[in-house]
Amino acid sequence: MSQPIGSSTLRTLPFEKPLVIQCQMCKVILGDSSHFVCTDYELQTLTLRGVSSCEVMSRQPTTLEAESLLGLDNEEWKEWVGCCYIPVSCKECGGSVARQWISCPPSKELMRDMISFHIGAICSYE
């Protein structure tokens, strides 16, 4: 059903039915599956190429450092050390909902410059 691309956890097949993506906290609509790029099950992200009601929180990228991975059991994150992202928040409630990756590991290059939502920060409906 899903197709791995460059990584065993990256899936690029679109959803069978259209989905609307909402902020988990305030329920404002952030995007929909017509802009789907990929999901990454290990990283727990849903990546879209177009979004609404989102705000890039800073123009200064953050570099993911090894120290920030302490306590994470996920081996998948280790390839992200040294990569840069810009935090993205919900315009309605200000909650942190995603990252816009400025640089990515080679196996996740299709996520670069897209918005990768944290699965725990969003909800959806068909």
Decide which of 27 and 57 is more confident: 27
pLDDT at position 76 over 60 = yes
pLDDT grade for 95, boundaries at 50, 70 and 90: very high
The string of pLDDT tens digits covering residues 37-54 is 999 887 889 999 989 888
The string of pLDDT tens digits covering residues 7-16 is 567 888 888 8
Q: What is the overall mean pLDDT for the chain?
A: 85
State residue 62's pLDDT score.
85
- 85: helix, coil or strand? strand
d(CA 98, CA 48): 10
Hey, which bits of the chain come out as E strands? 10-11, 20-23, 29-32, 36-40, 45-48, 54-56, 62-63, 84-90, 96-101, 115-118, 122-125
What percentage of the chain exceeds 70 in pLDDT? 84
CB 114 within 8 A of CB 15: no
- And the tokens for 67? 């120290």
